[in-house]
Structure 1
Amino acid sequence: MFKNILFVCIGNICRSPSAEVMMRHALRGREVGVSSAGLAALVGHGIDATAQELLVDHALDGAEHRARQVTPKILSGADLILVMEKKHLRRISEIAPESSGKTFLLGKWREDLEIPDPYRQQRPAFEHVYRLMADSVSAWKRYI
């Protein structure tokens, strides 16, 4: 059904790369591409250190990640685009209106839950966001 999943947040260094790694792990063994990009990406930067620590704590790894800017081409190549906040839905519809029909909140199956940005916050904020994303990734898995 979905062959190319794209996660989008703002900087592409905390939420979207973490969700990308989680989903890739959840779908291991399936031929589904999973990637991420940012609406205002810190292009070329690696994953946030705290986000990486949490991934490692869960036997996952985002160390190879490098942030990239979302583009209309990247959006058009995705079969499913998962974002963290409602304002991301609006921004994607401005960048590529044709992508609106395949763009949803990561927390869609959790009553349209929005996933807050933990950037520049303490570890407890990252832990909270990690739990929300892990639960949301699990909820999406049955539809992919």
Structure 2
Amino acid sequence: MKKHKILFVCLGNICRSPMAEYVFRHQVSQSGLSDIFITSSAGTSGWHNGENMHQGTLKKLKQQGIDPSGFTSSQVQPGDDDKYDYIIAMDNNNLAELERLFGKQPNKIFKLTDLIPEIGYTYVPDPWHTGDFDETFRLVSAGSQALLEQLTSVD
């Protein structure tokens, strides 16, 4: 199978994108496919560079039996569009910033919710504002599972 490099992106890289990174990595591991996926996450802003995940994200991952260790927040970098096969945004603003940086590449740069249109969301709400880490986890889990299924069915 082809190796896939995936970057999950939100605004500050402390809530949604690290949650997506770790949930997807967990799903990949559970499927026995860790050797074909490389995952990371970043923010469109550098507001939280060098910080750990938000406490709500840490708590939710631990509740779900997902080890959140080894994370440090970072910002999207020039050249990430060459480094990664897929860059997956959490909302329209993230997508717009990624398209400003890297141009429109709809087969490579898209929103996580594009993979789960049946769920009724066009973006993953930011729990920094909503406080609802459960809903974010539900959406991230569904989107990550859809991504995994899509990428493993192609190979």
TM over 0.5: yes
Q: Aligned equivalents of 1:61 and 1:14: distance in 2?
A: 15
Match of 1:25 in 2: 26
1:119 to 112, 115, 128: 128
**Offset of residue 98 of structure 1:** 6.5
Task: Judge conservation of contact 1:89–1:100 (CA < 8 Å) in 2.
Answer: no
Match of 1:6 in 2: 7
| Residues 30-66 of structure 1 deviation map (CA, whole Å, 9 limit, x = unaligned) | 2210000100131000011111100000000223210
Amino acid at match of 2:8: F
**Offset of residue 121 of structure 1:** 4.6
Count of residues in Structure 1 that have an aligned counterpart in Structure 2:
142
Between the aligned residues of both structures, percent identity stands at: 29
Q: Aligned equivalents of 1:99 and 1:70: distance in 2?
A: 16
Match of 1:34 in 2: 39
Q: Aligned equivalents of 1:116 and 1:63: distance in 2?
A: 24
Match of 1:109 in 2: 115
Q: Aligned equivalents of 1:11 and 1:115: distance in 2?
A: 14
Task: Judge conservation of contact 1:2–1:80 (CA < 8 Å) in 2.
Answer: no
**TM-score, normalised with respect to structure 2:** 0.84
Match of 1:47 in 2: 53
**Offset of residue 82 of structure 1:** 0.8
Cα root mean square deviation, aligned? 1.7
1:65 matches 2:66: no
**TM-score, normalised with respect to structure 1:** 0.90
Would you identify which runs of 4 or more consecutive aligned residues in structure 1 move more than 6 Å? none
Instruction: Label 1:142 to 1:33 Cα distance change in 2 as closer, same or farther (>3 A).
Output: same
Q: Aligned equivalents of 2:125 and 2:3: distance in 1?
A: 26
Amino acid at match of 1:66: T
